[in-house]
Structures are given as C-alpha cells and as structure tokens.
A = this chain, B = another copy of it.
Amino acid sequence: MEKIAIVGGGLAGSLVAVYLAKRGFDVHLFEKRPDMRKNRISAGKSINLALSVRGINALEKAGLDTQVLATGIAMSGRMMHTKSGELNYQPYGKEDQAIYSVSRGLLNIKLLELADEMPNITLYFNTNCVDANLQEGIAHFEDDKGTRSEFKADRVIGSDGAFSAIRYEMQTKGRFDYSQTYLDHGYKELSIPPTANGEFQLDKNCLHIWPRESFMLIALPNLDGTFTCTLFFQLDGPLSFNSIKTPADLDTFFDTYFPDVKPLIADLHHDFFNNPTGQLCTVRCFPWTNGKMALIGDAAHAVVPFYGQGMNCSFEDCVVFDEMIEKHYPNWDSIYSEYQKARKPNADAIANLALQNFVEMRDLVGDKDFLHFKHVEHDLAELYPGTFRSQYELTTFTNEPYKYALEQGARNSEMVKKIISLGLEDKLKDKSIIQPLFDEYLK
C-alpha cells in the first residue's frame, strides 16, 4: 500500500492519520514537539476548544466521539456579564443543543493514543519539518539536537499548522496566492480556580462573555472546576496590553471594566504579567495542493477563534479528504483537486464568519437593537424548526457548508430586519404573514 507522510501531529494531523490508516495506507506521522503523552504542553496559551457538530461527526468516524464528549462540558448558551454585574443569557440553539468545552491537550492525546494502536501508523516525535521537495514527496526534518533527516513518501500531507513549513515551500514555488492578516487585538490567558470545595465559581454550562465594545473577556469551563479566561484586547494604543505596565494599571483596568470577575481570578497579577500575549491571524491561501503535497487544517486556513470553529473546520477537512479518497482513489490528481475545490470556499467563509463574530461578541451582544434582533431570530427558529435556521445554527449544529451558512445568514438578517421594520414581531406565528418572507429570503 502507498506510503503517506503526515507532517504535524496536532489535531488535524492525527485524525487524518487515523482515517488513512483505516484505509490501509502505510502512514508515518511526524510531530515537531516531544510526545505530549509523556510531557505536559507548556501552559499559558489558550487551550480550550469548543467542539460542535462537525467536529463530533468527524470524531465519530474515528470511533472517538463518545469518549471525547465524556471529557467535555456542555455549554448551551452565552452568559453575558455587564459592567455592573448583570447577567444576560442567550441560548445557542434549542434546549438539547450545546457546544462542548474540551481540552486541546487531552483531545490530541486521545487521537495519538488511537493512532499508536494502529499497526500501520508509525509515530515520530521531535521531528521538525524545515524544508520539502513538493514534486518528489520528500520532507526534510531536524530533530531536537539539530540532526537532519529526510523522508520520502508517495504522498505528503502538511498538517503543520498556521506557520506551516510545507505551505512556505508552496509559497516560494511560483503561482500561489497567500495572505496572512493580523488583528490589532491580541489575547492573554487568565485562570479562575474552583472554590475551596472544588466547585465552579460560575455557571459551568455557559460560555461566559464580558463584552466591552472594543475588547472582551471570555471564560470556558474545564473538568477540574477551573475556568480558562481569555482577554481579547488591543495590542497597542491608549487602552491596550501595551498601556498596562504596572500592577496598579492592571487593578484599575479590572476594577473599571471587570469588577465582578476580578476577585475570581486568583493569580491575576501573576497570570497577566507572566503569560505570553498571543496574536491573532487569519491565513488564506490557494492552491492547497502542489505535486505530491496537500495542506490540511490550519496550514491551509488559520482562522481567528471567535466562532469556535477552527478545530471543527479542520476536522471537516479530514472528513472531506477521506471522502475524496473513497471516491477517486487511486487517482490522486482528482483526490487533490476535488478536495481543495470542495473545501476552499468553506474555509474562506468560516474565516469571514469568525472575523464577524468578534464584533458580535465583544460589542453587539450588549446592544439593545441587536438583542431584539436576536430574539426575533430565536423565535423564528423555535416556531419554524428546520425551516428557519440561524447562521449560528447552520454553522454550529449542522453539516451544511460554511459558505451556505454565511450566505443564508446574510439573507436571514435581511428577513429579520424587514420583520422589525414592518413591526411584525408579534405576528411571527401567523404563517400567512411569514411564509411570503420565507419564500423571498430562504434558499
């Protein structure tokens, strides 16, 4: 059977390794970090993920969904915290719908364990891809001692993340559209420990948001009773990470904007001044394949984290890649071209949705008109399930293409705006009034 090298043993890389091994390929998975099953990943960088339907389906295909969901915490809606400490809850969907807070590290370990059990997957750690020959299918690695090696495969999959070495090789070998675009905001991780009794300090079944217009704090629950908080904040300017230089600056900032959460973060000063400030980047490129190589996951489309879809989208890449093998193997030209054709528009769509959602989360969720809009949308979804599906529902709770979610979301907005402008909010149950709008806006 053909030999496949997978460069990058993160979430997408280890999942696609499992899929390919199930098809009988001779799979070799290269990860630059040490084996995370033996070494804890360094903390201080946000490691919570929101697993939703696309990701769950992809894990189901590997037989891991039940195990992973058992380690996750269901979040059924957003809990908004105003400056004065008022709470405002917005369900994400219907009663039984939730997204799941899961640990990136734990999920990665489960995938690697599964990979390791398969006889036709060989795992390599401390092997950092530094160069590649796209046409020959050769990847060059450097280990932690600086020793070089190379590996030649029939096909090579670059799942080496937002700073992909395989993608860089494509970038410098002719016709390859590429962009990396940073936000003016960065992020920093802070932690809310459990109470002395080991209990959660906030409702654990919500994704908590402290929206402050141009910046925000969020918190996601962990199994151990902690919450991982992430502050998304301007990097520079009069009120920014850069402007907070002293513990006193930090106290003033939290007293002003986050008075209710301040006492919950036990090591605020330590966390803030010691944890790194992360940056937020969107990466777009095309084509995703060149010679024997194909990109998957963040290597092909790094997105900002505000729709919670980065991992879900990467897992969906793996599913589609596997479907194309099912359909076209052994014609790799067709597998590669159909894979990138299917995924590229959806990766672009989720990148845009994630950028839009940042504005919604940090700013609009506190806006009265927006909340009214959301209520009408929610009522429509409740009254006409399966007919009216919100952008959030389409993105998070279905497998509809992201591109469709983006486009239908825009049409939904027009429809809801029309309902509000006509003052029809009380007549949503009257199908004779609403049906013409559905006819006009739903596609």
Contacts and interface: CB of A to CB of B under 8 A. Distances in A.
Interface of A: 163, 168, 171-172, 174-182, 235, 279
A76 to B, nearest CB: 36
Name, among A175, A176, A181, the residue most crowded by chain B CB atoms within 10 Å (CB to CB).
A175
Nearest to A180: B178
B172 A182 contact: no
A172 B176 contact: no
Contacts of A171: 180
B182 A175 contact: yes
Contact of A177 (B168, B175, B181): B181
A112 to B, nearest CB: 27
16 contacts: A163-B172, A171-B180, A174-B279, A175-B182, A175-B235, A175-B279, A176-B180, A176-B182, A177-B179, A177-B180, A177-B181, A177-B182, A178-B178, A178-B180, A179-B179, A179-B181
Nearest to A282: B177
A375 B177 CA distance: 38
Number of identical monomers bound together in the oligomeric complex: 2
Contacts of A178: 178-180
Nearest to A177: B181
* Across the A-B interface, the 6 shortest Cβ-Cβ residue pairs: A179-B179, A175-B182, A178-B180, A177-B181, A175-B279, A177-B182
A175 B181 CA distance: 8
Nearest to A184: B175
Contacts of A175: 182, 235, 279
A176 B178 CA distance: 13
A182 B171 CA distance: 11
Contacts of A174: 279
Nearest to A235: B175
A179 B179 CA distance: 4
A245 B91 CA distance: 61
A351 to B, nearest CB: 14
A369 to B, nearest CB: 32
Nearest to A186: B175
Nearest to A172: B163
A235 B182 CA distance: 32
Contacts of A179: 177-181
Contacts of A176: 180, 182
Contacts of A181: 177, 179
Nearest to A181: B177
Nearest to A284: B179
Contacts of A182: 175-177
A182 B177 CA distance: 6
A175 to B, nearest CB: 5
Contacts of A180: 171, 176-179
A177 B174 CA distance: 20
Nearest to A174: B279
A313 to B, nearest CB: 21
Contacts of A235: 175
Nearest to A236: B175
A37 to B, nearest CB: 29
A12 to B, nearest CB: 21
A336 to B, nearest CB: 16
Contacts of A163: 172
Contacts of A168: 172
Nearest to A280: B175
A188 to B, nearest CB: 15
A169 B201 CA distance: 45
A306 B174 CA distance: 20
A235 B163 CA distance: 29
Nearest to A279: B175
